[in-house]
Structure 1
Amino acid sequence: MSFNLIAVVQAGRLEHEAILLAASLRLSDPGFPGTLFLAEPQPGPKWQGDPRISDRTRKVLTGLGAQILPFETRAFGSDYPHGNKIEALAALPEAPFLFLDTDTLVTGPLSAIPFDFSRPSASMRRENTWPKVELYGPTATQTWQALYDRFGLDFASSWDTTQPEDYWQRFLYFNAGWFFHESPRAFGNRFLDFAREIRDAPPEELVCQELYPWLDQIALPLVIHSFGGGRPGPELAALDGAATCHYRTLPLLYAREDDRVVQVLERLGSDPELRPVLRHWGAFKRMVIQGEGARARALFDRADLPRREQMIRNRLKREGLWIR
């Protein structure tokens, strides 16, 4: 099955994460038949400074087989860089696509996953981050109902009825770390329309809700539902499993991810072509090159991790091991 991958790359930390993503794809799925597009926002009034990557990084990424894809930022920018993943889709060639957050490692053959690109889905590796329910309401049900009504969508058909009423997992809610569809143009246009509508004219039920940084994750389930998609089935278990790891930060990777993920990271870190570039990333230098990742890993039992990510972060911070 041939499809394209897309991730966002820009100056700073994402440059180095993109190198790891591209190199891990080459390592773990050398026969991948599609193209890895790395979407790069271009300078403009929405950006403070120049978001483009360095020439050094550009040379490494193209050498790894990635294609740099410039795109214009018209709706978001510095105020909401998460919006890059929405606006970048307009620049992608019209073919089935899988979006990956740049802080992702490929650990197995993506090309072996039996996607149904006509039925979009997204990552379920998420926590109860939105909405935050106030004491006197509206309830989570009322908040989500208002959004489905705004876009003319059937709310009840999106429920997981095995979950209790008003419990957060009853509602369609994703981590936007990966998602896919057959048409980047159609999906991206609708994603942009929904996100801007929520930002600019939210229903009154959202008046007390924080929209940043959650806007992409608020709009995403509505977009997926509107295209007839939903929660991923068992055929997609390799995403956030044997084929990919959305690690978020290197300290979190060492703290909680499987041995296979650490092995892929450290194999890439020992590559003599990559190491001189990656050492400019402070987190990589400390965690991988200087070996502090092993100290972070020793703090946690992967079979008995804290239930909430914030608890892991707090312990890493106390130990002086939280660096991005």
Structure 2
Amino acid sequence: MPDSNAQSFNILAVGQAGRLGYEAVVLAASLRASDPGFAGRLIVMEPQSGGAWPGDPRLPGPIRALIERLGAEILPFEARHFGAAYPQGNKIEALLAAPEDAPFLFVDTDTLVTGALSAVPFDFARPSASMRREGTWPGIELYGPGYTAIWKSLYDRFGLDFGSSLDLAQPDEHWERYLYFNAGWFFGPCPRAFGQRFLDYALSIRDDPPEELVCQSLDPWLDQVALPLVIHALGGGRPGPALAGLDGAVTCHYRTFPLLYARESDRAVAVLEEVTAPNWVKKVLKEHEPLKKIVYQGKGAQVRALFDRSDLPRREQVIRNTIKRAGLWTR
């Protein structure tokens, strides 16, 4: 039975033809299995034909039917600004078509629900996002501006207070001193207000970057550059210990199925194998080569045997390279 004290909110994800559609099935199945008392809506936002997407990005019929059978809804949105040129922009434009004035948690489709998401004590008035990230941006040049100059130029661009965003427990010019998130999950009180600010900031940075960004790559980092600015502007910040279940015992942002088997918990592996096992699910998912190879053909167990999860390499690229050398990598 639903917990009478649990909050009701919408979970948003983007699904379309190809990998994201299959991942959306796994997301919906894992939510249904791990949090049957979830009282909100799981909404898969689907880009439509035209606009910034060539061809037809919509979900194929069998995947659409399976997502809906698993209790999720599918809502359309139009990609006008990013689309195929910058697929990460899907999450920005999808927010603008989501239900207004309803608290939301956005998750990437490569997310597995492994616990009671409905029991997480979100403070939707104080937006936040995932801290499971590496120091991927900015890249500091020998004679170029440092972290402070680069990040401050962005806060100044949008009239935001830079000093209050800093983690003063970290040393000056160390990347963790500066507000930086993984965009794999984030939340707030209204997706449309959040999305409009996200869009405005991202377009400004992309089309007219401050001069301090002249040597910086924004592909694929644009969403993760704009996200902390949006969260700070809306009165949010770093997640507190109450949200430790995200990227922990409640959700798993696995990135790829080989990485899931390489580094994630036994619980995450068990949930993945449980929710993909029913024949009516397997019939559709086995058409996706990574799931077929890693889950249904049992290669995931071989990947898992390559690593000691109590002593994993610190850098994800090392894990990826180890899997590739063993001939077990698939995207």
TM-score for both structures, normalised by structure 1: 0.99
- 1:304 & 1:275 partners in 2: Cα distance? 33
2:177 to 170, 174, 183: 170
**Match in the other structure for 1:7:** 13
Deviation at 1:269, TM superposition (A): 2.1
CA RMSD of aligned residues (A): 0.6
Query: Does 1:296 find its partner at 2:303?
Result: yes
**In 1: Cα distance, 2:55 partner to 2:145 partner:** 40
TM-fit CA distance, 1:45:
3.5
Three-state SS of the structure 2 residue aligned to 1:78 is helix
Aligned match of 1:189? 196
Question: What amino acid is aligned across from residue 70 of structure 1 in structure 2?
Answer: P
2:145 counterpart of 1:124:
no
Which 5+ residue runs of structure 1 have no aligned equivalent?
none
- 1:136 corresponds in structure 2 to 143
Partner in structure 2 of residue 46 of structure 1: 52
Cα deviation for residue 198 of structure 1 reads 0.3
Q: Whole-Å Cα distance in 2 between the matches of residues 167 and 48 of structure 1? A: 41
Aligned partners of 1:69 and 1:23: how far apart in 2?
Answer: 18
Structure 1 residue 35 corresponds to structure 2 residue 41: yes
Single out whichever of 255-264 and 37-46 deviates more from structure 2. 37-46
What residue is the counterpart of 2:163 in the other structure? 156
Structure 1 stretch displaced more, 125-134 or 262-271: 262-271
Q: Which runs of 5+ in 2 are unaligned?
A: 1-6
Partner residue in 1 for 2:292? 285
Aligned position for 2:28: 22
Residue number among 215, 221, 227 corresponding to 1:214 in the alignment:
221
For 1:138-178, what per-residue CA distance to the aligned partner results, in whole angstroms no more than 9, with x for missing partners? 10111001000000011110000010001000000000000
Equivalent runs, 1:226-245 vs 2, <5 Å: 226-245=233-252
- Tell me which moved more, 4-13 or 38-47: 38-47
Percent identical residues: 67
User: Could you tell me how far apart the structure 1 residues matched to 2:61 and 2:283 are?
Assistant: 15
Tell me how far apart the structure 1 counterparts of residues 269 and 52 of structure 2 sit (CA, whole Å): 37
The alignment status of 1:97 with 2:98, answered yes or no, reads no
Tell me what 1:87 maps to: 93
Query: Equivalent residue of 1:84, what SS?
Result: helix
Query: For the residues of structure 2 that align with 1:49 and 1:310, how far apart are their CA atoms?
Result: 33
Measured against aligned partners, the alpha-carbon deviations of 1:278-310 in whole angstroms (never above 9, x if no partner) come to: 100101001111100000000000000000000
| Separation in 2, partners of 1:68, 1:246 | 21
Partner of 2:256: 249
Q: 1:112 aligned to 2:119? A: yes
Deviation string for 1:181-216 (max 9, x for gaps)? 001111010000000000000000001100010000
Confirm or deny that 1:145 pairs with 2:152.
yes
SS in 1 for 2:280: coil
Q: Which amino acid aligns with 1:11?
A: A
Give the Å deviation of 1:233.
Answer: 0.2
* Aligned-partner Cα distance in 2 for 1:20–1:270: 11
Post-superposition shift, 1:268?
Answer: 1.3
How far apart in 1 are the matches of 2:103 and 2:278? 32
Does the 8 A contact of 2:51 with 2:78 survive in 1? no
Match of 1:272 in 2: 279
* Equivalent-residue separation in structure 2 for 1:28 and 1:261 (angstroms): 11
**Cα deviation code 1:61-87 (max 9, x no counterpart):** 110111001001111110001000000
CA shift for structure 1 position 230 = 0.3
TM-score under structure 2 length normalisation: 0.97
Q: Which runs of 4+ in 1 moved over 3 A?
A: none
Q: Distance in 1 between matches of 2:55 and 2:211?
A: 35
Quick one: distance in 2 between partners of 1:142 and 1:321? 42
Per-residue deviation, 1:321: 1.0
Report the alpha carbon displacement of residue 259 of structure 1 after superposing the two structures with TM. 0.3
CA distance in 2 between partners of 1:187 and 1:269 (Å):
33
In the other structure, the counterpart of 2:71 is 65
More displaced 10-residue stretch of structure 1: 42-51 or 254-263: 42-51
